[in-house]
Amino acid sequence: MHRILVIDDEQEIRATVKHHLVNADCEVIEAADGEEAMRKINEGDNPLEVDAVICDIRMPKMDGMEAISYFLKTCPTLPLIVMTGYPQTELAVDLMKQGIKDYLVKPVKKETLLAAVKKAVMVRPNF
C-alpha cells in the first residue's frame, strides 16, 4: 500500500482524489495548503513518510510552489505530481526540468490520476 499526500485548497478536489486513490489501495493524507502539509509531515518525533505528493499550485498561506520547493530540497527522491486548474506551459516545462514527475490539469480523469501515481511510485528508489 502506498501513502500519498494530497495538497489542495479545494475540499471537493481532495475528496475526489482521495476516493480514487483509496479505491486503488492507497492511503491518503490530506492537506489544505503547503503550510498544513509541512505540519503533517513534520509533526511528532518521526517525520511522516509518504510515497508521493500530489500538489496544487494556487493555494492560500503557503502556495504550491513553496511546498514543491521545500520537497525538492528536503526530499529529492520523493515523487511530486502537480495538479492545477491554471495550466501554464512554461511553468509545466520548468517544473518538469526541476524533477516533477507529472503535471496534471484539473479536472483530472480517474485513469490519468492513477496512471500518474503509479508511474511516480514505481520510479522511487526501494520500490
For 51-61, b/e burial (b = at least 16 CB within 10 A) is bbbbbbbebee
Given a contact cutoff of 8 angstroms between Cβ atoms, the answer to whether 31 and 7 are in contact is yes
SS3 label, residue 120: helix
Predicted local distance difference test score (pLDDT) of residue 125 = 54
Q: Residue 40's Cα: distance from chain center in Å?
A: 14
Kindly state the percentage of the chain with pLDDT values over 70: 95
Is the predicted pLDDT of residue 124 greater than 70, yes or no?
A: no
Q: Which amino acid is at 2?
A: H
DSSP state, residue 108? P
Please give the Cα distance from 33 to 103 (Å, whole number): 18
Predicted local distance difference test score (pLDDT) of residue 42 = 87
- Of the ranges 16-20, 72-76, 87-91, 119-123, which is most confident? 16-20
Bridge partners (DSSP) of residue 6 are 30, 54
Helix and strand counts by DSSP (H, E) for the chain: 5, 5
Question: In sequence order, which residues have a C-beta less than 8 Å from that of residue 6 and are 6 or more positions away?
Answer: 14, 17, 18, 21, 28, 29, 30, 31, 53, 54
Confidence of residue 62 (pLDDT cuts 50, 70, 90): confident
Cell 509545466 belongs to which residue?
A: 92
Predicted local distance difference test score (pLDDT) of residue 29 = 96
Kindly give the interhelix angle for 34-42 and 64-74, rounded to the nearest 10 degrees. Answer: 30
Confidence of residue 21 (pLDDT cuts 50, 70, 90): very high
Protein fold of 2-122: Rossmann fold (3.40.50)
**For the whole model, what pTM was predicted?**
0.92
